[in-house]
Structure formats: C-alpha cells, structure tokens
Amino acid sequence: HLNHTKSISAPAMTKRKKVLVLGSVNIDSYLFFRELPSPGMAAKTSRSSNYLGGKGMNQAIGVSKLGHHASIIGLVGDDLEADTIYESAKQAGINTAYLKRVHGELTGKGYIFLNNNGDSIVSILSGANECVSKKHVEEALPIFKDSHLCLLNTEVPQDTILTACRLAKNHKLPVLLKPSSIRQIDPEIPALTDIFLPNLEEAQILLSTEESQLSKKLQKMQAKEACDKALLEQCADYFLKKGANMVIITLGKQGLFAKGKGILGLYPAKEVKAIDTTGAADAFISALASYLLLDYPMEQAIRIASYAAALSVTREGAAPSLVDKNSLEAYIATEEPEILE
C-alpha cells in the first residue's frame, strides 16, 4: 500500500518528495514550572515562551526539515498570530497556498504547562481550526494530484478528515493519521488509513466505548508505566479490524508498539534527558513519513523515526524541537549506523 508507483526510488537529485499535511495550526504558549500546578493550587511560573505549533504545522515543518516539500491545508485567524505563522511557514519552505485566514476567528492556541522533567499538561483553544471544512479540502485538489503522501490529524473536524482520506485514496496517496483530541472516531477513517498512530492514552479513549474492559486494562498498565505486549497487541488488533493497514501505538519513554504487514513488536525508546515531550509524536511521524518516502523498509523507518523523537524531547518547543536531516543522520551514525544503509 505504501509502495505505490509515486514512491518508487528515483535518482538522488529527485529524492525530494511532496507531502500534503492537513491539521491544526496554532501558536503554542509555554509556561514553565518547577512542579505542575494541581487543582486549587496557585503556582508561580518561572518564565513563558511562544512557539509555532499545532500538529499540522509541526508535521509540515518536520518533513521540510528532513528534506521534503510540504504543503499545508489549514486555517488561521484574523489576528497578529496569523502573520507570525505565515512568516515562519514561508521561512521553513512550506507551501501556504491553502493556509487561509478566517475573518472574525482567532488563530488556534496551545497552552502548555511544563515542569523540569519535561512532563506537560496541554490545553487547546481550537479557534480557526474548527472551521476547516470539506470545501477547503476540495479546493486543494491540485495538491492531492501532485503529492506522494498525506499526513492527517484530527485536531480539525472529522468530516473534513474523512473527505481528505477519500481524496487521498482516489489519488493513491498513503495516509498516516494521528487521532488526537477526540473521544470517538468515524468508523470509515481507520479503514482509509495506511498507518494509524495513536498514543496509549488516545488508543485507550477510542477503545472505551466498544471495548471498555480492554480500555480499563490499558489505563492500569499506563498508571504502572508498564508494557504488556499481549495487551498492546489486542489494542492494535482493534484498529486493524477497523481497517487500518498498520497500527503504531506510541508509549512515551517506553517506546512504541507496532503491528502490521511484516511488523510486530515493541520498539524501546532511546534513553535521553527529556526537556519537553510535546513534539515527540510529530517528530516521529515526520521522520517515519520522510524515510518511507526515501524507500526505507518499514522496520528501518520506524527505528530512524524513534531517534528523531528522542532528539526532539531534548529541545524546548514542539516546532523548534524538530530535527533536520543532517543532525538526525549524524546522531544515528554514532549510535546505530546500519539502520541508515
């Protein structure tokens, strides 16, 4: 499914592929604490910072830094934050032809509370992201015709995502989907997805309606910071039965569990000192997509992407933490050079 004719190996000078990204575009406001505040507690923040964010924008920046050409479909508000986003996206080399302004709406915001261990609490003000419609996706048809792979996340409305999934399938584009910030998923979406990429908490929430016992077991496993391979496989099987071709469940410092054609098992995380884990999933997804487009086998692409995620958590801010190709490959060359061959 990922080996369609658009991604067949080509000479080095044409290795740069085109990636379509549909998802949220935000400005992230970070507040830093020694300890995260608990209910009823007033905590002083040591400092604050603003960064470009939103899963759509992060993934577009991620694939651009890894040498591909990203086009983003999304909406921003009618405010100064939108100007910042356009400027930053253009500097990153992202095609913003289908990143539009919505009058009377605010640009999406992420509020991130972060402690010294890199643990965070995140709250999202969707703003203009809620207004991304099927019409916006259909208007971007030229990009679907011209791309090699599609990255989606559910921080924009699900009917919009479903339209994008259908268009991607019509144009034989592989779809990688991150089911974030939702409690239920349209049953047609996993069936149109090549790689379904929830984290453990997202998987557990999506299971809770139909598989409440399994969901509770996963919750207990998460509380213990343990890894039960059999339980994770049951979880992956649930989404595979819904039609996804491959499921990768990211597990934070425990690594990830993957199941799909020719792939089954736990992949441990690389040991690093975490400063900010907010952008780890976007770093992983960007690198996974980028190296699959370079015709790396799935197993190698997963391992390379795990290094990208590890590097990202050692840096502050989601978008700024995304690693460039030279830095990533230099890091891997010192640790596990054979996976780049």
- The model's pLDDT over 48-93, given as tens digits with 9 standing for 90+, comes to 999 999 999 999 999 999 999 999 999 999 999 999 999 999 999 9
**Model confidence at 312: pLDDT above 80:** yes
Q: What is the mean pLDDT of residues 246-262?
A: 96
Q: Extract long-range pairs of 61-64: CB within 8 Å, 24+ residues apart.
A: 61/89, 61/92, 61/94, 61/286, 61/319, 61/322, 62/282, 62/283, 62/285, 62/286, 62/287, 62/290, 62/308, 62/322, 63/19, 63/21, 63/151, 63/286, 63/289, 63/290, 64/92, 64/93, 64/94
In a domain, 177, yes or no: yes
> Does residue 154 register a pLDDT over 80?
yes
Mind listing the pLDDT tens digit for each residue in 161-212? Answer: 999 999 999 999 999 999 999 999 999 999 999 999 999 999 999 999 899 9
Averaged confidence pLDDT in the chain:
93
CATH number for the domain harbouring residue 253: 3.40.1190.20
| Residue 2 lies inside a defined structural domain of this protein | no
Does residue 264 lie within any of the structural domains?
yes
pLDDT at position 2: 56
CB atoms within 10 A of CB 100: 16
Average pLDDT over residues 246-266: 97
For the chain, percent of residues with pLDDT exceeding 70: 96
CA 234 to chain centre: 23
- Does the residue 207 lie in any domain? yes
Is residue 107 assigned to a domain?
A: yes
**Is the predicted pLDDT of residue 9 greater than 50, yes or no?**
no
- Domain total of the chain: 1
Taking the model in full, what pTM does it have? 0.93
Q: What is the mean pLDDT of residues 33-38?
A: 86
Angle between helices 212-223 and 229-241 (to 10 degrees): 140
Is there a domain that residue 162 lies in?
yes
**Distance separating alpha carbons of residues 184 and 133, to the nearest angstrom:** 19
Residue 106 lies in a domain: yes
The range of the structural domain enclosing residue 331 comes to: 16-35+45-340
Query: Which pLDDT does position 226 carry in this prediction?
Result: 87
Residue 261 lies in a domain: yes
269-311 residue pLDDT tens: 999 998 989 899 999 999 999 999 999 999 999 999 999 999 9
